[in-house]
């Protein structure tokens, strides 16, 4: 992708606005390391553009940057900052490009094409999420997607209502899920469902949220709350998205969790039943089991024990 030189110092701004305001403490200021070649911002901008037109990207990049440092408040500065960020992107300096687009967003609100900045930031974050480190000798490459995490978070913060912010928020959840931080992933997926209910990613997020709860329930096999939360999440997902591509798999997990809960409740009642002096607790547990799982294959056995325990309690009076 080759960038054309900017013909004007003024850019048309998108109607979207940034969530950030400019901060004097972070603004670029005149520096001996960023000396412009010309004496005015207009001449500097024209000179940098001429370098870019000749294909001298590195030299042009340096001069655009110098303009911003030297004449930050000039009408040429936003366009120069935009050109600087564009060239970095073109030269595949992606993380630096992301930062320079972020600087543009934070310091030149309303003076550049906002959608372009967000789109480039989103493309950079996506690249990092799917990229692999170079293989070295016999060591296999491994994911560097965690580097994309703060980038996606900035995108969502920059423009929560942007058309791709739902996907950015969803990707945040995926990264945390892949890291094994399921509780944080669940929070991220929940935000997608709550903030972007009409977005196509909402269904995907609903499934992944339920699946993360399933993973937590599987890690703590005898934790009833985790199991119930996971089951509830799958039921909600199936009801809300019956035609979703993962609905079939969700039903399998739902049935597995339901059976797990059946065994959990029944085994608890049996435990009390076999413990001396806990017959009353066993009776309550069996009745609780029957209330929750009246159609279970174990309901008959549970009913038999309820009747037997009631008779025992009557004889003891």
**What does the pLDDT read at residue 220?**
79
Query: In this structure, is residue 15 part of a structural domain?
Result: yes
Query: In this structure, is residue 148 part of a structural domain?
Result: yes
Count of the separate structural domains present in the chain: 1
**What does the pLDDT read at residue 136?**
42
Query: In this structure, is residue 12 part of a structural domain?
Result: yes
Query: Which letter does DSSP use for residue 18 in this model?
Result: -
Query: In this structure, is residue 216 part of a structural domain?
Result: no
CA distance linking residue 75 with residue 170, whole number of Å? 37
Query: In this structure, is residue 176 part of a structural domain?
Result: no
Task: Provide the pLDDT confidence category of residue 133 given band limits of 50, 70 and 90.
Answer: low
Task: Provide the pLDDT confidence category of residue 223 given band limits of 50, 70 and 90.
Answer: confident
Task: Provide the pLDDT confidence category of residue 2 given band limits of 50, 70 and 90.
Answer: very low
Rounded mean pLDDT, 301-307: 92
**What does the pLDDT read at residue 231?**
96
Structural domain including 14 reads 1-152
pLDDT tens per residue, range 183-202 = 999 999 999 999 999 999 99
Rg (CA), the chain: 30
Q: How far is CA 44 from CA 67, 69, 100, 119, in A?
A: 7, 12, 19, 28
Domain CATH for 19: 1.25.40
pLDDT tens per residue, range 249-291 = 999 999 999 999 999 999 999 999 899 989 899 999 999 989 9
**What does the pLDDT read at residue 131?**
79
Rounded mean pLDDT, 56-83: 98
Within 8 A by CB and 6+ apart from 204, the residues are 170, 192, 244, 246
pLDDT tens per residue, range 80-129 = 999 999 999 999 999 999 999 999 999 999 999 999 999 999 999 999 99
Task: Provide the pLDDT confidence category of residue 219 given band limits of 50, 70 and 90.
Answer: confident
Give residue for tokens 């002096």.
277
Query: In this structure, is residue 77 part of a structural domain?
Result: yes
Helix (H), strand (E) counts: the chain: 13, 0
Torsion of CA 29, 33, 34, 36, to 10 degrees: 120
Query: In this structure, is residue 65 part of a structural domain?
Result: yes
């Amino acid at each position: 992708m080759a960038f054309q030189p900017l013909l004007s110092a003024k850019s048309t701004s998108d109607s979207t606005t940034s969530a950030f305001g400019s901060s004097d403490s972070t603004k670029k200021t005149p520096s001996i390391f960023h000396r412009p070649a010309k004496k005015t911002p207009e001449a500097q901008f024209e000179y940098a553009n001429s370098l870019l037109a000749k294909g001298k990207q590195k030299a042009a990049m340096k001069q655009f940057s110098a303009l911003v440092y030297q004449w930050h408040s000039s009408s040429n500065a936003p366009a120069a900052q935009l050109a600087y960020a564009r060239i970095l992107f073109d030269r595949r300096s992606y993380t630096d490009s992301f930062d320079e687009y972020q600087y543009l967003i934070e310091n030149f609100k309303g003076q550049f094409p906002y959608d372009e900045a967000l789109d480039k930031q989103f493309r950079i974050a996506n690249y990092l999420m799917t990229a692999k480190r170079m293989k070295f000798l016999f060591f296999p490459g491994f994911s560097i997607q965690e580097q994309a995490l703060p980038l996606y978070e900035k995108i969502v913060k920059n423009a929560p209502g942007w058309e791709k912010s739902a996907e950015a928020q969803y990707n945040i959840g995926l990264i945390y899920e892949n890291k094994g931080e399921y509780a944080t992933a669940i929070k991220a997926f929940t935000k997608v469902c709550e903030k972007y209910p009409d977005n196509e990613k909402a269904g995907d997020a609903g499934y992944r949220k339920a699946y993360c709860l399933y993973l937590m329930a599987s890690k703590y096999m005898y934790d009833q709350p985790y199991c119930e939360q996971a089951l509830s999440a799958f039921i909600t997902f199936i009801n809300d998205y019956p035609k979703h591509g993962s609905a079939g798999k969700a039903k399998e997990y739902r049935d597995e969790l339901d059976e797990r809960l059946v065994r959990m409740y029944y085994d608890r009642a049996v435990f009390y039943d076999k413990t001396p002096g806990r017959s009353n607790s066993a009776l309550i547990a069996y009745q609780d089991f029957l209330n929750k799982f009246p159609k279970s294959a174990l309901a008959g056995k549970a009913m038999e024990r309820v009747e037997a325990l009631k008779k025992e309690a009557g004889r003891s009076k």
